[in-house]
Amino acid sequence: MLDPVSLPEKPPILEMRGISKSFGAVKALSDVSFTVKEGEIHALVGENGAGKSTLMKVLSGVYPHGSYEGSILYDGEERHFRDINDSEKLGIIIIHQELALIPLMSIAENIFLANAPSRFGVIDRDVRRKRTLELLAKVGLSEAPEVLITDIGVGKQQLVEIAKALSKDVRLLILDEPTASLNETDSAALLELLKEFRDHGITSILISHKLNEISAVADRITVLRDGRTVGTLDCHEGVVEEDEIIRRMVDRDLESRYPKRDPKIGNIIFEVENWSAHHPQHPERKVVKGVSMKVRAGEIVGISGLMGAGRTEFAMSIFGKSWGRDISGTVRVKGEEADVSDVHRAIKSGLAYVTEDRKHLGLILAEDIRKNISLAHLGGVSSRGVIDDISEMKVAQEFRGRMRIRSHNVYQETGKLSGGNQQKVVLSKWLFTDPDILILDEPTRGIDVGAKYEIYTIINELADAGKAVVVISSEMPELIGICDRIMVMHEGEFVGEVAGEQATQENIMRAIMRRKGRQE
């Protein structure tokens, strides 16, 4: 890393003045002003649909000059970016929430995919390797440049994306939900890296729904609501309370981050006994190791653990053996052994699994709400093998009202909905199958605080209706806030269990570290 520099007082590195952007009759941004000082971490927050991503796409040239109103000043000069290449030439680099890495290429190949060092038109592999090692050292990665992206975890992939940005001589780094897929440890490491970059003069714009992280690292916080600038909070003028940020974001106070609930827990209806699964590409590697658990009707059980603990692999292997190989063990629903040998049979047995990746695995974004809701249970809207359009429309309208999905109608394209409303469509799809057991994998990932509250309310309603609910989450406060009981997973095994009223982040981490200590 370069030696720290002391920056004299300078004009802002970035000023966006009076930015307005429309899509047909819909106004996404309305007279937004946004100023970023050089060498600061500036957080940009707001509910889904507030205009954060649109504003950053205007800045980066994804929406080129002429497609919006207003002006962009960078380094004190007005800029007219025609595309993303124009902004990158000036050191403005965006890292999107969906990482732009190619899994079956190496770390070095990904970092220098568009700007590989070459001699006489041929890639200079020695120079590329040397520069890759230098960049990896800056972001704290010790992996060899030849390692494939598919062989490293999501946290390390995020660092590779940052290394790629550094290879382009970044001056203004924009990170869109960089910790959404990370556990607490990896998130903390990434935030420390941003503070280190700040010490060396790199400016960052951080978009995140995790307000505790924003409060920990941001110098200033700008809030957007409904496409307008609400205001900017200076964190150096005093402690910025999360409740104040929330109030500005949603224009109302949330009495509690988690809705109150009076659990009515019944008999055991979901049992997993001695469940094991091996990696599909590396069959010698056992990822899920003899796991057993029980969940009662009306109970919300959380599964916590560090990234790579095997939580998602465990859930997917149970749900129709949709992940893994050489799977063994027993699943019982209401005391009877369940056939979960494929997804169709798992659904018939009363299971539903809401994937952590709603955009790629949970929804068909190009289809409308109506078709997405009926997708997992077409038999429920069909007659003699033919889909009944009227029935499908009525079912979709019922769930749209019941789940409070904000849309023009049930024919709206699902990809045009906010993250929170997309998640409600995914939940509707699985509720239409009338499951007894719902496994929710990162149910609020990438969702703003107001929409999270609505999802928590829906989860409570499902438990109150007698469903057994399993919640996998990387956010410990979320599990503590909504679960009756939390199972702690580490390296493919359950290593602890904490009752809801006794759950703290310290207790959960203590269970993990106790097992790690024994292994070492």
41, 378, 387, 395 from 383: Cα distances, Å: 57, 10, 6, 15
Domain of residue 164, residue span: 99-170
CATH number of the domain where residue 474 is located = 3.40.50.300
Q: Give the bridge partners for 351, in sequence order.
A: 437
Residue 517: predicted pLDDT: 47
CB 319 within 8 A of CB 351: yes
Q: Give me the amino acid identity at 513.
A: M
Identify whether residues 400 and 484 lie together within a single domain.
no
Which residue bears the tokens 């003069």?
A: 201
Choose among 334, 328, 349, 336: nearest CA to 274: 328
CB 55 within 8 A of CB 19: yes
Residue 1: predicted pLDDT: 45
Choose among 328, 332, 261: nearest CA to 295: 332
Q: Residue 212 domain-assigned?
A: yes
69, 77, 85, 226, 434 from 61: Cα distances, Å: 13, 16, 8, 22, 46
Task: Determine which helix (DSSP H) or strand (DSSP E) holds 19, and give its type and residue range.
Answer: strand 14-23
Residues 6+ apart with CB under 8 A from 520: none
Q: Give the bridge partners for 79, in sequence order.
A: 72
Cα(341)–Cα(283) distance, integer angstroms: 19
Residues 6+ apart with CB under 8 A from 507: 498
Tell me, what DSSP letter sits at residue 177?
S
Cα(122)–Cα(118) distance, integer angstroms: 5
Q: How many CB atoms lie within 10 A of CB 249?
A: 22
Collect the ranges in the chain with pLDDT lower than 50: 1-2, 7, 516-517, 520
Cα(381)–Cα(432) distance, integer angstroms: 10
Cα(221)–Cα(243) distance, integer angstroms: 14
Annotate 380-404 with three-state secondary structure: HHEECCEECHHHHHHHHHHHHHHCC
Q: How many CB atoms lie within 10 A of CB 409?
A: 12
CB 406 within 8 A of CB 421: yes
Identify whether residues 36 and 148 lie together within a single domain.
no
Q: Residue 3 domain-assigned?
A: no
Q: Are strands 351-354 and 437-441 parallel, antiparallel or unpaired?
A: parallel
CA 249, 252, 255, 258 torsion: positive or negative?
A: negative
Identify whether residues 343 and 442 lie together within a single domain.
yes
Which tens digits make up the pLDDT trace of 392-443? Answer: 999 999 999 988 888 889 999 998 887 788 889 999 999 999 999 999 999 8
Strands (E), 37-142: 41-45, 69-74, 77-79, 92-95, 118-119, 122-123
Distance of CA 3 to the CA centre of its chain: 34
Which of 434, 458, 479 corresponds to the end of one domain?
A: 434
Rg of the chain over CA atoms, in angstroms? 24
Please give the model's pTM, rounded to 2 decimal places: 0.66
Identify whether residues 444 and 512 lie together within a single domain.
yes
Residue 519: predicted pLDDT: 52
Which of 147, 170, 193 corresponds to the end of one domain?
A: 170
For the chain, the domain total comes to 4
CB 109 within 8 A of CB 129: no
Helix-, strand-, coil-residue percentages of the chain, each rounded to 5: 35, 25, 35
Annotate 227-250 with three-state secondary structure: CEEEEEEEHHHCCCCHHHHHHHHH
Query: What phi and psi, each to the nearest 5 degrees, are found at residue 442?
Result: 50, 60
Cα(235)–Cα(274) distance, integer angstroms: 50
Identify whether residues 410 and 429 lie together within a single domain.
yes
Identify whether residues 415 and 456 lie together within a single domain.
no
Residues 6+ apart with CB under 8 A from 35: 12, 14, 15, 16, 232
Q: Which two tokens stand for residue 45?
A: 């927050």
Identify whether residues 463 and 340 lie together within a single domain.
yes
Identify whether residues 109 and 229 lie together within a single domain.
no
Q: Residue 192 domain-assigned?
A: no
Query: What phi and psi, each to the nearest 5 degrees, are found at residue 327?
Result: -85, 135
Identify whether residues 345 and 362 lie together within a single domain.
no
Residue 520: predicted pLDDT: 47
Q: Residue 186 domain-assigned?
A: no
Identify whether residues 341 and 464 lie together within a single domain.
yes
Identify whether residues 403 and 492 lie together within a single domain.
no
Q: Are strands 26-36 and 14-23 parallel, antiparallel or unpaired?
A: antiparallel
Identify whether residues 83 and 175 lie together within a single domain.
yes
